[in-house]
Structure 1
Amino acid sequence: MTRSLAGKTLFITGASRGIGLAIALRAARDGANIVIAAKSVIANPKLPGTIYTAAAEIEAAGGQALAVPCDIRFDDQVEAAMAQAVSSFGGVDILVNNASAIDLRGIDALEMKRFDLMQQINARGTYLCCKAALPHLRKAANPHILTLSPPLDLNPKWFSPNLAYTMAKYGMSLVTLGLARDLAKAGVAVNSLWPETAIATAAVGNLLGGEEAMRHARKPEIVADAAHAILTRPAASCSGNFLIDVNVLMEEGVVDFSAYAVDPRVDAMLDFFLDAPITAKVRKSAFHGSE
């Protein structure tokens, strides 16, 4: 694929590690400007990576980086981070809503402070970042909003027993659903992207099965490559979609996904919110919704 993000400014939430950092590095290889808006400013052995280590990686990959401490639960921090992005790079072309919190406990076990955290980061944080970015996106050439959230499906199996998480994650997807229609005349593309399989991030390692689960995951680069393909498409003709990473890449001509596997010898685990595999060597996992 020859389309490029050279010279574009991407504001990415939660880009200090995982999928957010992978998206940033893919754009950096084109020569993009990356605003890393995240909370991680001090190294944590359980969650490697800070905004500063991410900035160093982005610059080594060929991009320009701006590391901004930002907790997207707070209006003033988001507004300040957006202002720094515009001051440093002259505008914002792309918003990637990647920051997310996960807790899969049911209603009897989940404390309300954890419920509130997921709602504040996932649903409200996504809405807030879109609101802060819009004045700048409306001025950009080929502006995009891309949110890492699943296709909407009201089958009760996705809400039980992890009701609070699904509410929060679907809240992100509802932002895509509504803003795509709101912003159609303004020419701002609004889409969601979701992986076919579990992705090798801290959430999988810490919450969904440890090292064995990681073996059955794909690398974050598969989502990053799909995001790059979406963000380089014409905004006017690519909006209001709930996209799956492998479908996007197949449209770009990719037929072999084995290079993305953490361990190509084992089947990958189908992710939450998807009923059936799209590619070979994917199976329903132990954390998949019950039928």
Structure 2
Amino acid sequence: MAENSSSLHDRTLVISGASRGIGLAIAIGAARRGANVVLLAKTAEPHPKLKGTVYTAAEDIESAGGQAAAVVGDVRKEEDVQHAVDTAVERFGGVDICVNNASAIATEGSQELSAKKYDLMQDINCRGTFLLTRACLPHLRKSSNAHVLTISPPINLSPYWLGRHPSYTLSKYGMTLLALGWAEEFRAREGRSGVASNCLWPQTYIATAAVTSMSDGSTLAASSRTPEIMADAAVEILSRPAPETTGQCFIDADLLIESGVTDLSRYGGGDQPIPDLFLDL
């Protein structure tokens, strides 16, 4: 990927669920290129087992060279989402980028999965993605290079993936369908600059709390890449012209290789990193 320290200079990014992990890495990656970042997350207080809050995330972003605003809220609630967008407009003058990162996962089988967990996944993954994008849209339409980026997979209708964890799959494919639908709904047309909408998904497991908290988390983490690979891929997408970069489901490693990165070892994972869900490799 070509290094361009000013590619996101003075552009404003609103991102959900970025207290840690992939979301925080994307926010820091954008900040290093001069972006303003508004974080919407629930983690106001430190979790006993998880590092980071929305406030420490904001500090990390500012240390990376960007400007940050921390908003404590729930992506499932319209008023919290609107507050985050209003903060972006009041603090930085608008919104250029919307990143739908917040997500819930539960991979139990259909008989074992509780209705509460089912609802949580649909509400955070689908409803949250819809609410944040909808709230950002009036401001994105005023931007000269507007992007929506959703952290969701390409839709793979292989029976293997459909049968693995149908409820989680439904919620993640729902995010992707929204993103691809928006690409067409808000595509550039005569007299309208348009809003790009794309998905980004990791080729391999990423060493986040979702992985390390598993019973064999340390072993899995050793074969997982760092969140920075997703950050570098996201910045590559968001730096491209919106009319030329929309309606796609990008895979992080493939995108970076296509962009000129020849060595992915910097992101860890060893010689055989674990392939991520929904991908037939």
* 1:224-243 equivalences in 2 (<5 Å): 224-243=231-250
Question: RMSD of the TM alignment (CA)?
Answer: 1.1
- Cα shift at 1:2: 3.6
* 2:208 aligned to which of 201, 211, 214: 201
Q: Match for residue 144 of structure 2?
A: 141
User: 5 Å matches for 1:10-29?
Assistant: 10-29=13-32
Find the counterpart in structure 1 of residue 268 from structure 2: 261
**TM-score of the aligned structures, taking structure 1 as reference length:** 0.92
1:117-266 paired onto structure 2 within 5 Å: 117-185=120-188, 186=192, 187-207=194-214, 209-262=216-269, 264=270, 266=271
| 8 A contact 2:38–2:70 mirrored in 1 | yes
For the residue of structure 2 that corresponds to 1:145, the secondary structure is strand
> 1:66-117 CA distances to partner (integer Å, 9 max, x unpaired)?
0001201111111111111111100000001000000110111111010000
- CA deviations over 1:122-174 (Å, ceiling 9, x no partner): 01110111111100000011000000000011112112231111011111001
Runs of 4 or more, structure 1, over 6 Å off, are none
Amino acid at match of 2:277: F
| Matching residue within 75, 79, 85 for 1:76 | 79
Match of 1:285 in 2: none
Structure 2 portions without partners, runs of 5+: none
Check if 1:30 corresponds to 2:33. yes
Q: What is the count of residue pairs matched by the alignment? A: 274
- Report sequence identity in percent: 53
Contact 2:179/2:247 (8 A) holds in 1? yes
Tell me the distance in 2 between the aligned counterparts of 1:124 and 1:172.
9
Quick one: structure 1 residues 79 and 208, their matched pair in 2 at CA, closer, same or farther if it must change by over 3 Å? farther
TM-score normalised per structure 2: 0.95
Counterparts of 2:163 and 2:48 in 1: how far apart (Å)?
A: 32
Give yes or no for contact 2:39–2:84 (8 Å, CA) kept in 1: no
